[in-house]
Amino acid sequence: MRGNFGKRGKKEASGKRIGKSRVRKVAASDKPARTPKPAYKKDTSRSSVSKPLNIPKKKDISETIRLNRYIANAGVCSRREADTYITAGMVTVNGEIVAELGAKVKPSDDVRFDGRRLNPEKKVYLLLNKPKDYVTTTDDPHANKIVMDLVKDACPERIYPVGRLDRNTTGVLLFTNDGDLSKRLTHPSHKMKKIYQVSLDRHVSKSHMEEITEGIELEDGLIAADAVSFINNEDKSEIGIEIHSGKNRIVRRIFEHFGYKVKKLDRVYFAGLTKKNLPRGKWRFLTEKEVRYLKMS
C-alpha cells in the first residue's frame, strides 16, 4: 500500500503538482481541527475586554443631542418645523444664533427659542383612571397610597398630577412634566370643562337641581354648575354635573349644602379627556391628537 500510494502521489505531482504534503493537508481537514478552538476562545476574550473600553466613548457621544431634537423634546414643535426655525435664525445657543442644520448641543447649554429658554426633557402626557383610596400628591409620608405609586414605572421622566382629586374621588387624572400646559389647564381663567358622575344617598329634588345651575352661596363664595342632569329618569340619585371651578371638594360641597351624602364621585371628563376603554387603576399615554387638543384649549 505504501509503494502504490507513493507512485500515485508522484503521478499527480507531474500533472497537477499535488504532492504528498498536499494530500496530507486535505486528509487533515477531515479531522476535527484543534487549532481553531484556542483561537476562538482568544477572540472571545478580546471582545469581552474591548467592550468596556468602548463604553466611555459612547457616553461622550450621548452627551450631545441634535438641536432640532432638543427643540422638539422641549415641546415647541416637530423636528421638521424646528429646522425651519433654526434656519430662520430664531434659535440661540449660549447667546449666539445657530442657523446650521445638524448642529448639536449639550443638555447644559442655554438654548432659547424666540427668546424663551427651553427645557430639553422630553414632554410626557399620561392619563390615569384613578381608583378610590389614593391620594393625589407626589409625596405624602402619612398616606398609605398615592397616585404616583400607580405610574412610577411609566417613564423615566419625572411627571406629576395636574390638579387634584380627593382620596375618595375616582376617574380621569392627567400627569405630565409640561409645566406651561399644567398651569393653563388648572388656572381658573381658562375654565376647563369637567364632568362628574355623582351617586347620592337619596333622590335629588328638581328645585335643588335648578338652584345648583342658578348658583348657590358657599363659605368661599358663589358657585354655579354649567349643567346638571339625571343620569336616567328612573334613578334620581344618580346625577351628572358639569363644572369648571377648581375649588377644593367643590362637587361634594355643592350637594352637602342641601344635606345630601355623596356615596360615589367619579370624574368622567377633563379638558376633553375621558376614561373610555381605560380600566380603573390603569394608565395610558395620550395620543398626539389629544396632546394637540390640550395645547389648543
φ/ψ (deg, to 5) at 172: -65, 125
In the set 43, 114, 166, 201, the catalytic residue is 166
C-alpha cell at position 132:
378610590
Known active-site residue 114: no
Instruction: Give dist(CA 134, CA 146) in Å, integer.
Output: 5
Catalytic residue IDs: 166
